[in-house]
Structure 1
Amino acid sequence: MTRQFAGKTAFVTGGGSGIGRASALALAADGALVTVAGRTTDTLKETVRLIEAAGGSARYVVADVTDEAQIEHAVQDATAGTGRLDIALNNAGYDGEYQLTKDYSSQLLDRMIALNVRGMFLSMKHELRYMTAQGSGAMVNMSSGAGLIGVPGFSGYAATKAAEIAMTKSSALEVADQGIRINAVCPGLVDTPLIADLDPEYRASLGASHPLGRIARAEEIADAVVWLASDKSSFVTGIALPVDGGYSVP
């Protein structure tokens, strides 16, 4: 059976762990040649190893998305050998920490703006240059449910995630007539090593706060990424898709 991304190239920022790794594995399983980018060589190598062990094709490039020269080079690497960029997942970002607005650290806010807003903007900028030149492409931006609703103690984080959604919608309108679709995924809490290390009772309370009664697996978010990157969502662009177990429902 032909895999739906056979012959296509994909680029994933923040591909060394969590949602980025799960998405890279899922895209590769469907036939894409995946290039994962991030700042930590060991985790990127492990993602490539897992993809290859499952029979897929992958490579990695070390890059800081806040550095324009580095992300430009990383996108170039992703197109090496094919000259194409068919799928881009902009997943790199920073979650921050709980701080009330009146006590919010300016340094923390600057860090989140640099990674979440500037990093995604620069990634999109250089990815779109390839996609517009070839007249096709599917881009997925990893935002958060926090960009859709208020989250006490995370005002700075929520602001950057709302900015990601605004960039997604604006850019989607710019290129809608050029064969390119851009969408965002807005997860709720996802089962990551950070969550796994929490106190069991607190972890249980986090799951209970989602109407479906649990937090997500990274693979469930990756499923949404694959759908938005595929022809099965060919009439979908400019959306911010909640994948949050009902958490953001009014």
Structure 2
Amino acid sequence: MFDYTDSVVLITGAGSGIGHATAQRFANEGAHVIVADIDTEAGQETAEQINTNHGSATFVEVDTSRPSSIAALIDATLEEHGRLDCAINNAATGNQPSPITDIDEEDWNQVIDVNQTGVWAGMKYELPALLESGGGAIVNVASKAGIRGSPGRAPYGASKHAVVGLTRTAALEVAGDGVRVNAVCPTIVDTPALRSMSEEEREAVIKNVPMERAATPEEVANVIVWLCSKEASFITGQAIPVDGGETQQ
């Protein structure tokens, strides 16, 4: 158990999946959670669930493909709470499997804008807020696709490699200022996206994982919460696989 009492934690893409599980976990540890998502219904539902269960959460709509939207999110957080202690840049999108030669510019830009530019803009505005609050932690949600090749998923793989690079660069820039920056790199996670696949597709994905199953959102959330805690106080600039051993093959 970790004590996040009175901490303000911002999570993008918190309406579902890893973001939802992470919001719930931080709230259970005493944090006030800023639930940020482009999906208003899902984000509000996450915040309502937390508040109903005696936690503390506020929903703020954000479009992470637009830096101005992220800037407004940070401004709203500081205006209401006066501080920011942890930020989780989790919002992401993907592309339909396709070889590089068949990917059009619009599909490329959509993935890069959300996954790569969104993380850069997130840290651009989060870091000053964290420094003003006296320090804190950022965790960027990358992917196993950020540390190995992903045939058919060039936009997604490129963007997640960029997330790892941004993480390492930011970590070095603020290492002496009381802010730590790390990334998590999950394998396939048991989310609605996985369950929407055919049984054959699910089996094909999961067979590559040595532990022979998908990760749960809660297992990824556990690593994120730990990375933000004092228990991980000397860890920064790392891209930590949460992958059941898959990237070790």
- The match for 1:31 is 30
Q: Please give the alpha-carbon distance, in whole angstroms, between the structure 1 residues aligned to 2:108 and 2:132.
A: 35
- The match for 2:125 is 126
Most deviating of 184-193 and 96-105: 96-105
- The match for 1:13 is 12
After superposition, where does 1:192-211 map in structure 2 within 5 Å? 192-211=191-210
Amino acid at match of 2:28: A
Q: Please give the alpha-carbon distance, in whole angstroms, between the structure 1 residues aligned to 2:185 and 2:98.
A: 21
Please state how far the C-alpha of 1:240 moved relative to its aligned partner: 0.3
After superposition, where does 1:1-250 map in structure 2 within 5 Å? 4-250=3-249
SS at match of 2:76: helix
Q: In angstroms, what is the RMSD of aligned CA positions?
A: 1.3
| Structure 2 length-normalised TM | 0.96
SS at match of 2:247: coil
8 Å contact from structure 1 (residues 9, 79) kept in 2:
no
| Deviation string, structure 1 residues 221-248 (Cα, Å, up to 9, x no partner) | 1011101111111110000000011111
Q: Please give the alpha-carbon distance, in whole angstroms, between the structure 2 residues aligned to 1:220 and 1:54.
A: 21
Please state how far the C-alpha of 1:79 moved relative to its aligned partner: 2.7
Amino acid at match of 2:169: S
| Structure 1 length-normalised TM | 0.96
Q: Please give the alpha-carbon distance, in whole angstroms, between the structure 2 residues aligned to 1:166 and 1:3.
A: 28
C-alpha spacing 1:239/1:3, structure 2 compared with 1 (3 Å): closer
SS at match of 2:34: strand
Q: Please give the alpha-carbon distance, in whole angstroms, between the structure 2 residues aligned to 1:103 and 1:66.
A: 23
Q: Please give the alpha-carbon distance, in whole angstroms, between the structure 2 residues aligned to 1:149 and 1:88.
A: 25
| Deviation string, structure 1 residues 39-98 (Cα, Å, up to 9, x no partner) | 121111100111112221000111111222221111122234431100100001112221
Most deviating of 194-203 and 82-91: 194-203
8 Å contact from structure 1 (residues 28, 57) kept in 2:
yes
Please state how far the C-alpha of 1:205 moved relative to its aligned partner: 2.6
Q: Please give the alpha-carbon distance, in whole angstroms, between the structure 2 residues aligned to 1:75 and 1:110.
A: 24
Percent of paired sites with the same residue: 38
Q: Which runs of 5+ in 2 are unaligned?
A: none
Q: Please give the alpha-carbon distance, in whole angstroms, between the structure 1 residues aligned to 2:220 and 2:79.
A: 28
Amino acid at match of 1:51: I
| Deviation string, structure 1 residues 93-136 (Cα, Å, up to 9, x no partner) | 11222111121222111111111111111111110011122330
8 Å contact from structure 1 (residues 131, 180) kept in 2:
yes
Q: Please give the alpha-carbon distance, in whole angstroms, between the structure 1 residues aligned to 2:95 and 2:25.
A: 27
